[in-house]
Amino acid sequence: MTIAVVGTGYVGLVSAACFAELGHTVHGIDIDAEKIAMLRQGRSPIYEPGLEELLRKGLQSKRLIFTTDLPAALPHVSIVFSAVATPPGEGYRADLRAVFSVAETVARHANQSLLFVNKSTVPVGTGKQCEEKIAAILRERGCAFTIPVISNPEFLREGLAVTDTMAPDRIIVGINGDDAKSQQPQAKSQMEELYRPITRIGRPLVFMNRESAEIVKYAANAFLATKISFINMLTEFCEQTGASIRDVSTGLGLDERIGPRFLHAGIGYGGSCFPKDVKALLATAGQHGLRFPIVEATDQINTAQRQRFIEKILSRLPARAHIAVWGLAFKPKTDDMREAPSIDIIRALIDARHTVTAYDPVAAERAKPLLPESVAYAYTPMDAVRDADALVVLTEWDEFRGVDLITLKKGMKGDLLFDGRNIYEPEEVKCAGLDYIGLGC
């Protein structure tokens, strides 16, 4: 099939490259001309394991084409995916301007029927709004064809985006039709054909109505965020009672009904999805006159946990300390700095008149414009800790887990280790002569 993917960010670019790898021809479209120029040279504007290789293969096979010209691509494609950003807008409601702008461009320039598939995370009812806007423009233009709007939310994880896209846990497709039972049979069969290389390896393609699909995405993110906040809620309790959050988490996660994932205590979630989607779900619920107290608590606990960690650090540091920070990205294997806890934590350290040298394997360049100018950057973890009174670990990169703690202690001036991701065993750290401060122990 020949398709377009509009928006070549973390989601759109990975989707475009993977669809090309699966044999489709893909027009990757973005308004950012610089990004498109880079992509045409086979260079990825983002760090994502395995992506650049797919990009080069796609360009070589000519199944991947990059352009800023959406109208020019339309005559060639049967499906347009919209994967543009939906950042927080007024009152934390999702800002849908980019989604509507893509829908309008498609409606104004399409000369044949095609599917408009929304991959961005959008509040329930957005698909309906898009369809109404598109239909109004097509009527105005006197077009006899229709452009059905489909919801196909994305669940990939940054850092594992290529694997997640090639072999997802599930593909959710929301389609509405005049006849609810038929559910736009043509649209359904086109989506089946598009995803056949993935369903062939046993991954489920689940059809439902558009509203359900839109809600699944927010429900999934809010549920995962709630698991994180639930375990974080217990950290202070463990600290006060002499329990260990690691043991509590192990004991809890071994229950098959609960499962161990997303039960790792730390400084809480960040990134481009959980914080904004949790808040946007609350905003949408409010628009429907509803309140979701569990989700409200999830958000509050996340904010409080970050603040509690900042207070722990500040209460232990000597005046005008020099601090090494390991990890800036909101999680490992990505350079994404959106809503990274490192931003608030480093700002608080600098505001308290301490100095900071930071190290991150891939995110330093993206971090620089977001962090105070006085922050220095190191090229290796050990360079960062030189002369440091304290080390603060903010992202659980594998290279930090495996560090030799005795060498670390020798490389530092002081002996304070603040472990924001609970990646070290407290006893091992203490044996190396360091003072361990984690969360929940």
Ligand X SMILES: NC(=O)c1ccc[n+]([C@@H]2O[C@H](COP(=O)([O-])OP(=O)(O)OC[C@H]3O[C@@H](n4cnc5c(N)ncnc54)[C@H](O)[C@@H]3O)[C@@H](O)[C@H]2O)c1
Distance CA 228, CA 193 (A): 37
Asked if 400 contacts 381 with a C-beta cutoff of 8 angstroms, the reply is yes
101 binds ligand X, rule: CB under 6 A: yes
Helices (H), 262-403: 274-287, 293-316, 341-351, 364-367, 381-385, 398-401
Q: How far is the CB of 291 from ligand X (least distance, A)?
A: 23
Which position has the token pair 């190396």?
A: 432
Q: How far is the CB of 84 from ligand X (least distance, A)?
A: 4
- Which residues 412-441 are close enough to bind ligand X by CB under 6 A? none
Residues 6+ apart with CB under 8 A from 19: 3, 5, 26, 194
Residue number, 163 or 244, with CB nearest to ligand X: 163
Which one of the listed residues 143, 273, 431, 441 is annotated catalytic? 273
Q: How far is the CB of 364 from ligand X (least distance, A)?
A: 19
Q: How far is the CB of 409 from ligand X (least distance, A)?
A: 36
Figure out which of the listed residues 73, 102, 130, 171 binds ligand X, where binding follows CB under 6 A.
Answer: 102
Structure tokens at 413: 């001036």
Of the ranges 23-31, 51-59, 341-349, 389-397, which one interacts with ligand X (CB under 6 A)?
A: 23-31
Distance CA 41, CA 61 (A): 14
Structure tokens at 83: 């994967």
Residue number, 30 or 396, with CB nearest to ligand X: 30
Residues 6+ apart with CB under 8 A from 31: 68
Residue number, 121 or 357, with CB nearest to ligand X: 121
Structure tokens at 158: 């940054």
Q: Which residue from 294, 292, 272 is spatially nearest to 283, judged by alpha carbons? A: 292
Figure out which of the listed residues 65, 79, 106, 121 binds ligand X, where binding follows CB under 6 A.
Answer: 121
120 binds ligand X, rule: CB under 6 A: yes
Q: Please, how many CA atoms are within 13 Å of residue 389, restricted to the half-sphere of its CB?
A: 14
Structure tokens at 385: 């800790």
Distance CA 128, CA 27 (A): 25
Number of Cβ within a 10 Å radius of residue 382: 17
Told to judge if 441 belongs to the known catalytic residues of this protein, a careful annotator would answer no
Helix (H, G, I), strand (E, B) or coil at 45: coil
Q: Cα separations (Å) of 436 from 340, 386, 423?
A: 23, 18, 11
Q: How far is the CB of 390 from ligand X (least distance, A)?
A: 31
Q: How far is the CB of 98 from ligand X (least distance, A)?
A: 4
Residue number, 7 or 174, with CB nearest to ligand X: 7
Figure out which of the listed residues 64, 73, 74, 85 binds ligand X, where binding follows CB under 6 A.
Answer: 85
- Which residues 258-277 are close enough to bind ligand X by CB under 6 A? 272-273
- Which residues 138-167 are close enough to bind ligand X by CB under 6 A? 154, 156, 158
Residue number, 131 or 158, with CB nearest to ligand X: 158
Structure tokens at 113: 């029927």
Distance CA 96, CA 89 (A): 8
Residues 6+ apart with CB under 8 A from 192: 199, 205
Of the ranges 78-86, 201-209, 349-357, 361-369, which one interacts with ligand X (CB under 6 A)?
A: 78-86
The distance of Cα 34 from the centroid of its chain, to the nearest Å, equals 23
Figure out which of the listed residues 18, 20, 98, 103 binds ligand X, where binding follows CB under 6 A.
Answer: 98
Structure tokens at 1: 């099939």
Q: How far is the CB of 138 from ligand X (least distance, A)?
A: 19
Of the ranges 25-33, 50-58, 307-315, 426-434, which one interacts with ligand X (CB under 6 A)?
A: 25-33
> How many residues of this chain bind ligand X (CB under 6 A)?
26
Figure out which of the listed residues 3, 4, 5, 8 binds ligand X, where binding follows CB under 6 A.
Answer: 8
Q: How far is the CB of 149 from ligand X (least distance, A)?
A: 15
- Which residues 31-60 are close enough to bind ligand X by CB under 6 A? 31-32, 35
Residue number, 38 or 208, with CB nearest to ligand X: 38
83 binds ligand X, rule: CB under 6 A: yes
Figure out which of the listed residues 3, 10, 127, 214 binds ligand X, where binding follows CB under 6 A.
Answer: 10
Figure out which of the listed residues 86, 165, 190, 229 binds ligand X, where binding follows CB under 6 A.
Answer: 86
Of the ranges 10-18, 281-289, 296-304, 392-400, which one interacts with ligand X (CB under 6 A)?
A: 10-18
β-sheet with 322-326: strand ranges across: 376-377, 355-359, 322-326, 390-393, 416-419, 435-437
Binding site for ligand X (CB under 6 A): 6-12, 29-32, 35, 83-86, 98, 101-102, 120-121, 154, 156, 158, 272-273
Which residues carry out catalysis?
273
